[in-house]
Amino acid sequence: MSSDVIAPLSNPLPIAQALIQRPSITPKDEGALGVVQTALEAMGFVCRRYPFGEVDNLYARLGNAEPCFLFAGHTDVVPPGTEADWQQPPFAAHAEDGMLWGRGAADMKGAIAAMIASVHRFLDEAGTPDGSIAFLITGDEEGPAINGTKAVLKALEAEGETFSHCLVGEPTNPNALGDTIKSGRRGSLNCRLTVTGRQGHVAYPERAENPIPRLMGLLERLNARVLDEGAPHFQPSNLEITSVDVGNPTTNVIPAEASARFNIRFNIRHTGDELTHWIEDEVAKTALGFNGQVKADIHVTGEAFLTPAGDFTTLLQDAIEAETGRRPALTTGGGTSDARFIQAYCPVAEFGLVGATMHQVDERVPVSDIETLTKIYTRILTRYFTDTPA
């Protein structure tokens, strides 16, 4: 852990730069969590590390009373790609002409810096809150997400830790700061289908068992189902076939095996268990009368959830509108995030920077947006501990 406190902690830019300069590509930390821990400990937070496998995680809390406002996010980043393609080195954290460049600037080291600076400003203005502030920062959001937030939450639950509300700093805005709050997310299911038959010569099909027609028929039935027409606050669920593989280099051999992969993004009209049972039933039908084997390897990586509009989401919208002049819409689109794990423990929403360049070469954000986000987070804390939402 770094022993140097970045001063002043009320300024998010040098914090963001220090974080970006740590090349914390999942699952490596490279000192990124140390930057966060040093800053939080300087403000009186009690910090604990939660290493699981190759992943390190940080939990920090200021105070023990309720309500507890939880900031959540991740310091791990995706690889930068070919570094020569960047206008600025991806881990140099170069600030020029009002822009901060670097891997993680948008997703989401800039937001973590804003969280830290906002807490410093809040404590400086309001003093110790009548309640608690906590941070859960993981190094495994961009990876498998097994040894990160999900594992830490289970450990914290066993230790008796509870939270009242959570704000995740993912880059939720598509075009401008203040566009959208993520108040829910679709669930995600990944499946690999494998059909194993018997290899043979194409001129003697009676001596073989071709797996390809079985696989094609199964995919056709799965893909033909209209899962739903949407749900309140959610777009329709969709199944997307992402790969079909045979690996047969010859023209006169019936292959022994064929496989495929697909993903389902589903709304609150479905659960992972229900979709799993449907797939398993279709697999069983495919196997009838087939002299081979049909398998489905299914993984539900997150359930669909919705934080209903209410006092908490209104508080967030009011704070964002006060600083940006835009009243953000409550949306549920896009991919998954660690909010899918947090929603089982407390109401959760997501709001961070503009994500237009996240995961791209030349990832960057306006420095002014990081400052505005800091003001938003400060206003949220002030309002939260003045009039805690139900």
The answer to whether the beta carbons of residues 188 and 263 sit under 8 Å apart is yes
In DSSP terms, 254 is beta-bridged to: 200
Strands (E), the chain: 46-49, 58-62, 68-74, 95-96, 99-101, 132-138, 165-168, 180-182, 184-185, 187-196, 200-201, 238-245, 253-254, 257-266, 293-302, 305-306, 329-331, 348-350, 364-366
Q: Is 281 a catalytic residue?
A: no
Find tokens 């010569």 and name the residue: 201
**Cα separation of 320 and 329, whole Å?**
11
Instruction: Catalytic residue, from 56, 141, 170, 350: name it.
Output: 141
Q: Does the annotation count 323 as an active-site position? A: no
Q: Which sign does the torsion angle of CA 140, 329, 363, 12 carry?
A: negative
User: Which of 73, 95, 94, 106 shows the shortest CA–CA distance to 353?
Assistant: 106
Interatomic CA distance for residues 15 and 35, integer angstroms: 8
d(CA 88, CA 94): 7
Q: Which of 56, 76, 282, 350 is catalytic?
A: 76
Measured between alpha carbons, how far apart are the two ends of the chain, in Å?
38
Q: Contact 297/192 with Cβ under 8 angstroms?
A: yes
Helix (H) or strand (E) holding 14: helix 12-20
β-pair partners for 243 = 261
Catalytic residues: 76, 141
